[in-house]
Structure 1
Amino acid sequence: MFTLTLGDDAQLRPLEPWHAQEFLAHIDRARPYVDPWIPWASFSTDLTSATAVLQRYADRQASDTGRIYGIWLDGTLVGGVMFTTFDVDAGVCEVGCWLEEAGAGRGLVTRAGRVLIDWAFKVRGMSRVEWWAASGNTRSIQAARRLGMTRDGVLRRRIDYRGERRDCEIWSVLAEEWPPADERVGERPSSGKHVARPAAQAPAAETPARADDKAELDELVRRFFGAFTNTGGTRPDVAAIREVFIPQGLITANSGGDPVVYDLDGFVEPREKMLTDGTLTEFSEWEVSERTEIFHAIAHRRSEYRKSGYLKGEWFEGSGRKTTQFVRTSAGWRMSAVSWEDDE
Structure 2
Amino acid sequence: MFILPLGAHAQLRPLEPWQAKEFLAHIERARVTVDPWIPWATFSTDLESATATLQRYADRLATDTGRIYGIWLDDDLVGGVMFTRFDSAAGVCEIGCWLEQAGEGRGLVTRACRMLIDWAFRERGMSRVEWWAAAGNTRSTDVARRLGMTRDGVLRQRYPHQGVRQDSEVWSVLSEEWPSGEEESKSAVLAELDRLTHVFIGAFTNTGDRRPDLGVIRDVFIPQGRIIANVGNEPVIYDLDSFIEPRQKMLTDGTLTEFSEWEVSERTEIFGSIAHRFSEYRKSGYRHGKRFEGGGCKTTQFLRTPSGWKMSSLAWDDEPSTVTE
> What range is the shorter-chain TM-score in?
0.5 to 0.7
For 1:69, the equivalent position in structure 2 comes to 69
- The CA distance in 1 between the partners of 2:73 and 2:57, in whole Å, is 22
* SS in structure 2 at match of 1:102: helix
For 1:51, the equivalent position in structure 2 comes to 51
For 2:289, the equivalent position in structure 1 comes to none
- The CA distance in 1 between the partners of 2:187 and 2:199, in whole Å, is 10
- The CA distance in 2 between the partners of 1:182 and 1:221, in whole Å, is 25
| Contact 1:181–1:187 (Cα < 8 Å) also in 2 | no
**Residue type of the partner of 1:67?**
R
**Residue type of the partner of 1:117?**
I
Distance verdict in 2 for CA 1:182–1:157, change over 3 Å: same
| Contact 2:269–2:275 (Cα < 8 Å) also in 1 | no
For 1:333, the equivalent position in structure 2 comes to 313
- The CA distance in 1 between the partners of 2:97 and 2:187, in whole Å, is 18
**Residue type of the partner of 1:183?**
E
- The CA distance in 1 between the partners of 2:107 and 2:175, in whole Å, is 22
Q: Which runs of 5+ in 2 are unaligned?
A: 203-226, 232-262, 278-298, 304-310, 317-325
**Residue type of the partner of 1:187?**
A
- The CA distance in 2 between the partners of 1:122 and 1:286, in whole Å, is 31
**Residue type of the partner of 1:36?**
P
| Contact 1:95–1:130 (Cα < 8 Å) also in 2 | yes
Deviation, 1:64, is: 0.3
Distance verdict in 2 for CA 1:293–1:23, change over 3 Å: same
For 1:318, the equivalent position in structure 2 comes to none
How many equivalent residue pairs? 234
| Contact 1:153–1:171 (Cα < 8 Å) also in 2 | yes
| Contact 1:183–1:291 (Cα < 8 Å) also in 2 | no
* SS in structure 1 at match of 2:41: helix
Distance verdict in 2 for CA 1:247–1:72, change over 3 Å: same
Distance verdict in 2 for CA 1:68–1:215, change over 3 Å: closer
Is 2:196 the counterpart of 1:219? yes
Q: Which moved more, 1:114-123 or 1:41-50?
A: 41-50
For 1:210, the equivalent position in structure 2 comes to none
- CA deviation map 1:223-270 (0-9, x unaligned): 89x9xxxxxxxxxxxxxxxxx99969xxxxxxxxxxxxxxxxxxxxxx
**Residue type of the partner of 1:22?**
E
Q: Cα RMSD (Å) of the superposition?
A: 3.5
- The CA distance in 2 between the partners of 1:108 and 1:328, in whole Å, is 20
- The CA distance in 1 between the partners of 2:17 and 2:33, in whole Å, is 23
Is 2:271 the counterpart of 1:293? yes
So what's the TM-score if we normalise by structure 1? Answer: 0.60
- The CA distance in 2 between the partners of 1:56 and 1:92, in whole Å, is 20
- CA deviation map 1:316-342 (0-9, x unaligned): xxxxxxxxx96579x933489xxxxxx
Deviation, 1:44, is: 1.1
For 2:251, the equivalent position in structure 1 comes to none
Deviation, 1:23, is: 0.5
- CA deviation map 1:196-227 (0-9, x unaligned): xxxxxxxxxxxxxxxxxx96686349989x9x
Identity between Structure 1 and Structure 2 (%): 62
For 1:175, the equivalent position in structure 2 comes to 175
| Contact 1:12–1:112 (Cα < 8 Å) also in 2 | yes
- The CA distance in 1 between the partners of 2:148 and 2:54, in whole Å, is 29
**Residue type of the partner of 2:116?**
L
Deviation, 1:164, is: 0.5
| Contact 1:186–1:218 (Cα < 8 Å) also in 2 | no
Deviation, 1:183, is: 2.9
| Contact 1:155–1:169 (Cα < 8 Å) also in 2 | yes
* SS in structure 2 at match of 1:166: strand
Distance verdict in 2 for CA 1:181–1:223, change over 3 Å: farther
For 1:92, the equivalent position in structure 2 comes to 92
- The CA distance in 2 between the partners of 1:173 and 1:54, in whole Å, is 27
For 1:32, the equivalent position in structure 2 comes to 32
For 1:110, the equivalent position in structure 2 comes to 110
Is 2:121 the counterpart of 1:143? no
Equivalent positions of 1:1-344 (< 5 A) are 1-184=1-184, 187-188=188-189, 219-220=196-197, 292-294=270-272, 299=275, 332-334=312-314
**Residue type of the partner of 1:110?**
T
Deviation, 1:104, is: 1.2
- The CA distance in 2 between the partners of 1:145 and 1:216, in whole Å, is 15
| Contact 1:182–1:291 (Cα < 8 Å) also in 2 | no
